[in-house]
Structure 1
Amino acid sequence: MPRQGSKKQSSVTKSKTNTYQNQEDVYKMKRTPSSPQGGPKKRSAFIDLTNTTKTHTGIQMKSGKTDSRAPDGKVICRTHAIRTDSKDFSSDEQPKKAEFKQEDSPLDGFSVCQPDEPSAIQEQKVPEEFDIDKEHAGDCFMSPEYAKEIFDYLKIREEKFILSDYMHNQPDLNQDMRAILIDWMVELQENFELNHETLYLAVKITDHYLSVTVVMRELLQLIGSTAMLIAAKFEERCPPCVDDFLYICDDAYKRQELIAMEMNILRGLNFDINIPVPYRFLRRYAKVAHVNMKTLTLARYVCESSLLEVELVSERASRLASACLLLALITQGLGGWTPALQYHSGYLLVDLSPLVRKLYAMLASPSNDKLKAVDNKYSHRVFFEVAKIPLVHTDTLEEALMVI
């Protein structure tokens, strides 16, 4: 006969097991979003182009040394104390802590190292007429003291992630296949109700991986879904789990293949996935222009449509966002590129005019019947039906782009 204590222990163990199972069920539960396109739908992005061959290679992950910075800008290198014996110290035998002198490091357990080079961002005074963050003074969530410096840093950082047209290095891919993949990723972002930043980052991750790795077409959807998983882990508070991505791919891939592709992508990008995306710049510049939500949504529509164009892969995120906003301002008859926008973006009207013309031609060209995700998304009343707004006449566009 088992003892009473063992019964209690067994009941506690069962209750813990049930609790963990319930938590896991909630975590893996399929989402039922209220997006314009309805709930998640299984779909293969390429139909006959996928599910033929599935290969992956194993990788070895290397750990890197991390560092942080002290308030004075010095690099703080974390150090770890290693015990060489297993002797326990009594209260009387505790070694006395060395008292820090004024010249010693103020942080216990850290060593202070001088940076190799001065910071590229210099503190600057924002002119009063261009200070759009003063209204949020004291709001720690808006970080008004650092907003300008943050976006200046992002502009510097985006220089590291400039791409060229890599499609000529992919013998088994073409730009139409990439467009189909991005169109499917737009649907994926809607079905899971992910942030727009997640979609843009996933597209950036996909392009950067394809620029350094030659892949076969049957792996293209696996790359796209894995890039969305990585971006969701980076951007979302509660990202979808692996099973959700396997489900949305119509079970075309196995769990091990998706995890192996995740490691391959991270290794191909040197684990540096904090890539500046145009969506962040677009929100910042729209705030500078004091536009309403409909105009911002129109600029988002233009920017999201540009994701399908491989010719625009090489554009800087900040410049693309600026051109999308300028085209939206012209379309809505709200003026042109103001001095405030020029100050915060760093671009003159002459810098943006060629790209605005490209975006205008993109919207004016006949749409592909196979690539309807963006148009359908922004034709819904939730997005003010901005996809149905007619384009301005070319004469009006050229007049607005004329440099005085």
Structure 2
Amino acid sequence: MEGEINNFIVVWIIVFASLCYCHTIGKFIPKGTTRLFAILPIICLFLYLPLNLTTIHLGATTAFFIAWLGNFKLLLFAFGKPPLSSNRPISLPLFILFSTLPIKVQESDLLSHSPKSLAKNMICLSDSDQVTNKGFGTGENRTEDQKSLNTQIKAFPSHQTTKKSNKSPLNYATKIMIVAVLVQVYKYKDHIHPKIILVLYCFHIYFMLELVLAMMAALARALARLELEPQFDEPYLSTSLQDFWGKRWNLMVTSILRPTVYDPVRSISARLIGRKWAPLPAVLATFIVSGVMHELIFYYTGRLKPTWEVSCFFLIHGVCLAAEIGIKKALKGQFKVPAVVSGPAALAFVVVTGLWLFFPPVLRFNADVMAKRETAAFVEFLKDVFGRVPRFGSFNLISS
């Protein structure tokens, strides 16, 4: 474990240095193909770095943060798009924060802050551009300040529906307790039907993802003093596949795939098949890319040859979601399945296809065994570290 932690530190030092380079070239190289070629070596480096880590907790998390989300954000940055680009340069600390953590600023938070507060927290202005108290009045100065605020808001768009990201402590405490109970249940998995264990894994992955991402968001919130979009919105309350994937499940990934895959494909499709049906191939392309990226994350974690089952899982969901959207467009809202029926049906479809295609690769590299072994090794590592710390009682303070 000590060697893994050392590698983890080295990897993230390289990540921070690379992002400093990206932030710097953003000042001198205009957006477009030239900036893309300048950033391309960093994108390749971010794909390589997770190979130096072998644990689930450190390796898989790092792979998700930099090889997937970080790289997609850098691709957007190459073409001058948010969240790493705006009309005014973002400070280096926030550039690194937005690049490496799965976070997204809430629009309501931007609206609730004054332009002066936004300039202080989000945008690094030059001395000549800094907003002063004197500038907040009426007339031309106020107009310019409002324009600056609008520019910043456009640079950090949010989901269509902004929701409060801070859930109650009881909500998180309950989920932590559930995870603790699941860990204890796994001790008796030899006496439990394998299908039931797989269902428990579904809940475990959801709760762990939400808790880990919530911790990352809390860190970012403390550092940047900004309200963030929620990463999950109680997906078990979904009323359809569209509601599940678009508004409730892993919203950070959704917000990254939309500008990098969905919007470009939709724009191209609109010229070929019209605006009405353009979302269908865009949805399908988005799920295909998501499936490939999940295969990559699974490879980083287990180092096993991809079987493409996970890609098939996302392909099936992409086809079904495209069909759902197409049927809704064809019916023009004249007929709706009651939520009490469509909700459980959508969740059942997700669980059944997950048990069929998503979880077999996870079990193939023994993710549960790896996680348990890593936790035990980390506890021993902490005992060893604290065991090396001298205690006052071990010193002979009074000479005989």
TM > 0.5: no
Where is the helix percentage greater, Structure 1 or Structure 2? 2
Q: Scaled by the length of structure 2, what TM-score is found?
A: 0.24
Q: Scaled by the length of structure 1, what TM-score is found?
A: 0.23
Indicate the structure (1 or 2) with the bigger Cα radius of gyration.
Answer: 1
